[in-house]
């Protein structure tokens, strides 16, 4: 199985002014492409596992041959994480946030967030704490844990929550390459802008799939 860079479901400038076009283009065509290339190169060394779904390999990362385990963890995780990340943002979310910047998610995921955290504002605070608290590079997540409940989590580098038996619902890339051109060292400002591009209808779909 040869992995390929997925096409973005929107133009590189579609998330302006919150995420700039140049960052999106470099992030997608350079960083994500590198993860795909390096993942394919690693899997070529072990054709006996090359046809297994990547999600399955990450969920049992200790079962991946030792000589390519780190590569699959890093580059496979990078591919899965980014492929997920692109799909929970949209230009429709940008337009909606401009019309109503204080809107909260509805549907099953909105109810689950409220039930779990008490209020959407409490969830945002917990998520932002996780995102700002990542030391160096990594990700912040909303996941369904092994107990079937929503939880905020973070992962280092390109580690996937799948390797912890968690099912992702929402994620935020806090590697510097995701925001440095526009926000420089202001990760907190990037996080604040990012809420305006989150498409909660897509997150609702991810939540239902994970359930």
Give the pLDDT confidence of 124-151 residue by residue, as tens digits: 999 999 999 999 999 999 999 999 999 9
pTM for the full model? Answer: 0.96
- Give the domains, in start order, of the chain with CATH numbers: 21-87 (1.10.287.990), 91-210 (3.55.40.20)
Tens of pLDDT along 154-170? 999 999 999 999 999 99
pLDDT at res. 102 = 86
Q: What is the pLDDT along the chain (211 residues), one digit of tens a residue?
A: 699 999 999 999 999 999 999 999 999 999 999 999 999 999 999 999 988 999 999 999 999 999 999 999 999 999 999 999 999 999 999 999 999 988 899 999 999 999 999 999 999 999 999 999 999 999 999 999 999 999 999 999 999 999 999 999 999 999 999 999 999 999 999 999 999 999 999 999 999 999 9
Token pair for 165 = 């038996």
Distances from the Cα of 16 to the Cα of 78, 140, 194, 211, angstroms: 24, 22, 11, 32
Distances from the Cα of 14 to the Cα of 116, 128, 210, angstroms: 32, 24, 27
b (16+ CB within 10 A) / e for 61-76: beebeeebbebbbbbb
């Amino acid at each position: 199985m040869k992995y390929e860079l997925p096409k973005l479901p929107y133009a590189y400038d579609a998330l302006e002014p919150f995420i700039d076009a140049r960052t999106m283009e470099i992030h997608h065509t350079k960083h994500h492409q590198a993860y795909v290339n390096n993942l394919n190169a690693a899997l070529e060394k072990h054709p006996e596992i090359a046809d297994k779904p990547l999600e399955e390999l990450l969920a049992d990362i200790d079962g991946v041959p030792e000589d390519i385990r780190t590569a699959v963890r890093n580059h496979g995780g990078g591919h899965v994480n980014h492929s997920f990340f692109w799909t929970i943002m949209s230009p429709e979310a940008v337009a909606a946030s401009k019309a109503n910047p204080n809107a909260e998610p509805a549907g099953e995921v909105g109810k689950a967030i409220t039930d779990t955290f008490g209020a959407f504002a409490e969830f945002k605070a917990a998520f932002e704490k996780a995102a700002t608290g990542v030391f160096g590079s990594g990700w912040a997540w909303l996941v369904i844990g092994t107990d079937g409940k929503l939880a905020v989590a973070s992962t280092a580098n390109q580690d996937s929550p799948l390797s912890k038996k968690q099912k992702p619902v929402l994620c935020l890339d806090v590697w510097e390459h995701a925001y440095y051109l526009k926000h420089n060292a202001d990760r907190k400002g990037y996080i604040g802008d990012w809420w305006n591009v989150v498409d909660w209808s897509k997150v609702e779909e991810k939540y239902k799939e994970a359930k």
